[in-house]
Amino acid sequence: MLKHKISFLEFQADQMEAFAEYLEQQASKGWFLDCKKADIIPFPVFKRGTPENKRYSVVMIPNISQWDTDNDSRIVEYRQMCEEYGWEYVGSYRKFRIFSSENLDAVTIDTDPNLWFETVGREQLTRTIPCYLVLCFLFTIQSRSLFRNPSWNLVNNEMVWAGAAQVAAGFIMVFLAVKSIIWYLRTRAGVRSGRPVKKTALKNVKISSYVVLAVLLFMIISVFSAGGSSHRFLFGLIVLIVSIIPLVICGVIFKVIKRRGSGSDGENRILHFVLSFFCIFLFLGIFDIAVFRLMPDRSDEWERMQETEEEFPLDPSAFGYVWDDSRYAGSDSSILASLQSGAYQKKDGETIAGTLSISLYTARYNWVYNCLYADMKPNYGNAYEITGPESFRMGDMTIEFYNYEIPDTESRKRFIYVVQKGNKIMRLDFYMQEDKELIHALLEQFDGWNG
């Protein structure tokens, strides 16, 4: 029998009454909030106990931050006041202080409406709404990169669902931000006019939490499972789980820092800012390891080709290009190790008239687009002027062309073709000169090799 469980509901400052109702429902089923894990696990954690009928009250004490310990004199004074009215202090959950009472008729812990709105409204303006807007901005950037070249990223990489999920996530963040702003304006007008404040129903919190969670899950898993195979789907799920690790680590650090006791508002804000950025960078580090170092299929497919000793499927020898052993080992420096690479050179007597590098890749993710050619300028030096891309299609193949050239020189030129069909990419990198007939022949060879 499970002793602990995690709830995936997320409660904001304006949903304290709904949070209290949820705690009452869980207590009647024998589940009680474990406040010791509140800052470590990013979701509410409940521990099993004897079912009880209790009343709960969730409050935000004015001028008290989540960094202040329960031993803070202001919190102790507030607790003593509540205990006089029959409310027992349960603990803190992030920015909330939680009280319970076995007396179902206990006097409600009420706060002055203006003071309540000042505390809750400030939380909405300084944290909740900015958080939604930042997430919306990030989702917009990512979805825009998916749609920058639809024929490349959506059709060939099978990223349609991933793009749709990210657009949906962005719209949801906008909706939540607008909803919070409307709540703030309406509540401020109601408090000023003396009207009772409308409370958020628990049902609405559940709907919004599950919708957001479902879209985020769908977005992350769809990005990592492009292609539809079961092990890619599993990999996306694993990355999602691994991405929670930075939150747990930062929660532990938060606990340690919190033991320092109370501090000024300025110190608390600085600590929160530093810890938040530490969490982001830690997440990006783990994300990088999971994606770029543990990417599925790349190493397995490459090793399978090496074991079978399959010959390089493309052959430019009919056009005067011969294998260049001196360049083969370093022919592919991309972070995406190619399935196979080939380096060739063409001689005019003793003079090298041109070189050609051919690399074959497996294409699945949006960042393949960037790694292959969108960010190649730093690799070739800032002296190059880039012309392109020129995009066109040939049958089922998507072809894009870039021209790298140093002005006022004839020899320092690069002609790069990136071709994709299905989930395979071919990159042709010509140096000094290009050969249209050879390109046409290699396109036919690539088309035939890729089925």
Name all domains of the chain by residue range, CATH numbers in brackets: 4-101 (no CATH), 315-449 (3.40.1000)
- The predicted-structure confidence for 311-326, as pLDDT tens digits, reads as follows 667 778 888 888 776 5
- The predicted-structure confidence for 197-212, as pLDDT tens digits, reads as follows 777 888 988 888 888 7
pLDDT for residue 157: 47
pLDDT for residue 244: 67
- The predicted-structure confidence for 53-107, as pLDDT tens digits, reads as follows 999 999 888 777 766 777 778 888 888 988 888 899 998 887 888 999 988 888 7
Strand order in the sheet with 96-101: 55-59, 96-101, 88-93
Q: Which residue has the higher pLDDT, 281 or 266?
A: 281
CA distance 317 to 333: 24
Enumerate the β-bridge partners of residue 257: none
pLDDT for residue 328: 46
pLDDT for residue 309: 45
CA distance 93 to 96: 5
pLDDT at 378 over 70: no
pTM of the model: 0.57
Q: Which residue has the higher pLDDT, 107 or 339?
A: 107
End-to-end CA distance of the chain: 53
Closest CA to 402 of 413, 415, 392: 415
pLDDT for residue 23: 93
pLDDT for residue 419: 82
Predicted confidence band at 40 (pLDDT cuts at 50, 70, 90)? Answer: low
Q: Which residue has the higher pLDDT, 339 or 421?
A: 421
Averaged pLDDT of the chain: 71
Average the pLDDT over 116-122 and give the result.
82
Distances 249 to 175, 219, 443 between C-alpha atoms, Å: 30, 24, 50
Distances 121 to 75, 174, 269, 306 between C-alpha atoms, Å: 20, 18, 17, 62
Count of Cβ atoms closer than 10 Å to residue 15 Cβ: 24
pLDDT for residue 379: 52
pLDDT for residue 99: 92
pLDDT at 13 over 80: yes
Average the pLDDT over 426-434 and give the result.
76
Tokens representing residue 181 in the block: 């702003």
pLDDT at 144 over 60: no
pLDDT at 38 over 60: yes
Predicted confidence band at 134 (pLDDT cuts at 50, 70, 90)? Answer: confident
pLDDT for residue 424: 76
pLDDT for residue 388: 65
